[in-house]
A and B are shown apart, each in its own frame.
Chain A
Amino acid sequence: DGGITQSPKYLFRKEGQNVTLSCEQNLNHDAMYWYRQDPGQGLRLIYYSQIVNDFQKGDIAEGYSVSREKKESFPLTVTSAQKNPTAFYLCASSEVGMASEGYTFGSGTRLTVV
C-alpha cells in the first residue's frame, strides 16, 4: 500500500544536539512538506519542496534544515539553533498541480528536549 512514513515516532534530544527526523513516501508525489504543531496552535510550515534538489523556507524555518536528494525522501534536521524544538512534527506529501488533491500526512514524530 502507498503511504508516507515518519520515524521515529518519539524522539528525545539533549540541549545542544542536532537530530534528524525521517520522512519517506512511496506515493510518487512530487511535493513534500514539514509542519510543526504545538498545543493549541495550528500547523505551521517549516520547509517545503516541490521537486528533487529544490526546497523553500516556510514560515518558521529558523533553526531547521532539510534536503531533497531523492523524490521519496525529505528528512528534517532540527539544529541546536532551534530554541524551542519540543513539538509534534508532521510530514506531508501531495501532487503538484492537482487542484483538489489534499495532503497525505505521515503519522508524526513527537520531539522532546530533555
Chain B
Amino acid sequence: GQNIDQPTEMTATEGAIVQINCTYQTSGFNGLFWYQQHAGEAPTFLSYNVLDGLEEKGRFSSFLSRSKGYSYLLLKELQMKDSASYLCAVRPTGGGNKLTFGTGTQLKVEL
C-alpha cells in the first residue's frame, strides 16, 4: 500500500524561510514530486527528485532521502503569493506515471 504524510497546516512570515516535510511508505519508489495548489485552482508542478540530495530551483528547493522515505520542500524569501497548499506525490514502481498524493500542507504567509 501507499502512505504519504505531510503536516496539515503551517504559518510563516513574509521574507522568512519555511520547510515543508513529507514522509512516505510506498510499494517501490520511482520519484517524488512537489506541486503548488492555490485555492480552487489546478496544482502546478514545482519539483522532481528521484536521487538522494537537494534540487534547487530559484526560491524553491527540494530534498530527498530514499533510505529514510523523507523529502522536504524549502521555500526561501517567502512572499504573500506563496500562500497555497503544497502537495507531495510519489510515483511507485510499476505504475507508469501514476502518482499517489499526500493530503497537502496549507501554508499561510503573514506580514
Q: Do residues A96 and B87 form an inter-chain contact, with CB atoms below 8 A?
A: no
In the complex the two chains form, what is the Cα distance from A50 to B50 in whole Å?
Answer: 22
Interface size range of chain B in the complex: 20 to 34
Using CB atoms, name the residue of chain B closest to A107: B42
Whether, in the assembled complex, B30 has its beta carbon less than 8 Å from a beta carbon of chain A, the answer is yes
Pick out which of these stretches binds chain A: B12-20, B61-69, B72-80, B96-104: B96-104
Q: How far is the CB of B45 from chain A (nearest CB, A)?
A: 4
Whether, in the assembled complex, B44 has its beta carbon less than 8 Å from a beta carbon of chain A, the answer is yes
Q: Do residues B48 and A102 form an inter-chain contact, with CB atoms below 8 A?
A: yes
A42, A104, A106, most chain B CB atoms within 10 A: A42
Whether, in the assembled complex, A2 has its beta carbon less than 8 Å from a beta carbon of chain B, the answer is no
Q: Which residues of chain B come closer than 8 Å to A99, judged between CB atoms?
A: 30-31, 50
B42, B44, B45, B97, most chain A CB atoms within 10 A: B97
The chain A residues found within 8 Å of chain B, CB to CB, are: 31, 33, 35, 40-45, 48, 50, 58, 88, 90, 94-96, 99-108, 110
The chain B residues found within 8 Å of chain A, CB to CB, are: 4, 8, 30-31, 33, 35, 40-45, 48, 50, 87, 89, 96-104
